[in-house]
Structure 1
Amino acid sequence: MTTQPYDDGASRRDVLAAGLGLAAFAVAPSFAAAAPAISSPGAKTMSSGFVTTKDGVQIYYKDWGPKTAQPVVFHHGWPLTADDWDNQMMFFYAQGFRVIAHDRRGHGRSTQTDTGNEMDTYAADVAALTDHLDLKNAIHVGHSTGGGEVIHYVARAKPGRVAKAVLIGAVPPIMVKSDKNPGGLPIEVFDGFRAATAGNRAQFFYDVPAGPFYGFNRPGAKVDQGVIWNWWRQGMTGSVKAHYDCIKAFSETDFTDDLKKVDVPVLVMHGDDDQIVPIADSALLSAKLVKKGELKVYKGLPHGMCTTHPEIINPDLLAFFKA
């Protein structure tokens, strides 16, 4: 066997690039199979921009794919951004869908505001976005807080705007414990979220993804440091005031009536090891409240399963979209 010496910086860069390329395919199996379709010249379009709401807030969005294709709108969780859907955006873009994701007000690249950080305004912002892009027959997919936003919007959407909805690890019907919801989490849990967010957001936004969000605190878990820092990065781009207010929105909003009103097919997906939104008081109830519900429970998967297990989640989403 002969060894070729590194004779210049270019050679080293070539080796590094090759290694990174192999690593990319190793960590993204769900996307790798679909990737070739993206290279079709002239077949797709990509854009991003802002829509201005009635109260002057600018909502950032990404809009990828043919404008004639069926739209899929992704709604992120707290305290993240549209970037949390990178894997799904790439996968469904390659499948020929028009894929859209936005930063909720106060989050990411959208306007930081001390008003409107509650579900009624979040849903109104989504309506402004769908009107601006003139989305019809769209599929709305929401994770965690985004699931609450989805069901609140879909229950109020104009006729013809929505075809289907998906709730993933979502907060409905209601998270906080009360006489009407004895299985919920005590208000002290969310008070702790507020104290940690206001007191030392930078540390809290590391501890959440490093621990329960992705199940990295479980014995034998394979910890992905890049995923942790990406969560932290997204969270720290938003407004601490908006994040603080949003805790009340995702924990205390009662979505029961919204769930009952929705008459489009709804897929409810939840990991049974979700430590952030316990399945018994969320998905198991929501699936029974919607008129056309389908429940999929994923054994051992965490709250952030779209990121940790896209090779499982993406095909199930695709099957629902095409059904």
Structure 2
Amino acid sequence: MSTIKVKDGTEIYYKDWGIGQPIVFHHGWPLSGDDWDTQMMFFLSQGYRVIAHDRRGHGRSGQSSQGNDMDTYVADIAELTTALDLKDAIHIGHSTGGGEAIRYVAKHGMGRVAKAVLISAVTPIMIKGESNPEGVPMPIFDEIRKGTGFSRSQYYHDFTTAFYGYNREGAKVSEGIKNNWWRQGMMGSVKAHYEGIKAFSESDFTEDLKRVEVPVLVLHGEDDQIVPFHQAPKAAKLLQNGTLISYPGFPHGMPTTEAETINRDILSFINS
């Protein structure tokens, strides 16, 4: 396996295929780089170098007892991109990975990043508070913590229904997609996933979004049941050079269920 050992000794697994301009994919909670299979294959066929890692505590990466927070996730990515000497890269993040991607670009991307894409992202901040009255109430995240920490296998099995919009009338349910989500989730550390809920729900990416100067494409499904759609216009407005595309009826997991549309729009953005 391809891994690097970051400064605290944790091994970070990654896939690195092809040559050409690099595209770095940041996966969502509690998944792995495998969640980008469709995008990896598509952009590889278009002549790009494609890289996807497993976040610490996820997939095949080390299950460290510490560092399950957004700043450490981003520091790990900075070490990986330095080790691979990635320049002129496009960073694409889904859900939690969207927050990870934009913070990486803001803090470490100077001279290394050409563009970024945020898909169904947790930016600018998810949790409800005085500065974010439309946010998701804390009891929802406490429920996710309870399910993840103490009945993870069944909870992850059930979580896929809303994630992919399979509870909507007329939805074509794929058991393979659901099983693959469960497989990826169960590969990781329950402790890392439990602590990662705070990372994706309470991290505030407002200043990161404001700081980024490169073009950023924001993609969000209007029927997202995991990260509410109202997040996307807020994020796009904070960006210096942001473009928003919204999709009526698309679910949170649209990079998988609507891969043809998402891949086409990302490719058009990269080529623009």
Shared fold (TM-score, shorter chain, > 0.5): yes
1:279 aligns with 2:220: no
Match of 2:75 in 1: 124
Amino acid at match of 1:256: T
TM superposition shift of 1:158 = 4.5
Match of 1:260 in 2: 210
Q: Percent identity among equivalent residues?
A: 63
Q: Secondary structure at the match of 1:250?
A: helix
1:215 aligns with 2:168: no
Among 256, 260, 272, which residue is 1:311 paired with? 260
Among 116, 123, 136, which residue is 1:172 paired with? 123
Among 63, 70, 73, which residue is 2:16 paired with? 63
Match of 1:12 in 2: none
Match of 2:23 in 1: 72
Unmatched tracts of structure 1, length 5 or more: 1-47
TM-score (norm 2): 0.99
Q: Secondary structure at the match of 1:100?
A: strand
Unmatched tracts of structure 2, length 5 or more: none
- For the residues of structure 2 that align with 1:220 and 1:94, how far apart are their CA atoms? 32
Match of 1:30 in 2: none
Greater relative contact order, per chain length (Cα 8 Å cut-off, separation 6+): 2
TM superposition shift of 1:160 = 1.4
RMSD of equivalent CA atoms:
0.7
TM superposition shift of 1:159 = 2.6
1:105 aligns with 2:61: no
Pairwise mapping of residues 1-323 of structure 1 onto structure 2 (< 5 A)? 49-66=2-19, 69-209=20-160, 211-280=161-230, 282-323=231-272
Q: Secondary structure at the match of 2:64?
A: coil
TM superposition shift of 1:113 = 1.2
Deviations 1:193-217 (A, max 9, x none): 00000111000110011x1100001
- For the residues of structure 1 that align with 2:110 and 2:228, how far apart are their CA atoms? 33
- For the residues of structure 2 that align with 1:157 and 1:267, how far apart are their CA atoms? 19
TM-score (norm 1): 0.83
Q: Which of structures 1 and 2 has the bigger CA Rg?
A: 1
- For the residues of structure 2 that align with 1:291 and 1:91, how far apart are their CA atoms? 29
> Which region of structure 1 is more displaced relative to structure 2, 157-166 or 285-294?
157-166
Amino acid at match of 2:39: Q
Amino acid at match of 1:89: M
- For the residues of structure 1 that align with 2:233 and 2:142, how far apart are their CA atoms? 25
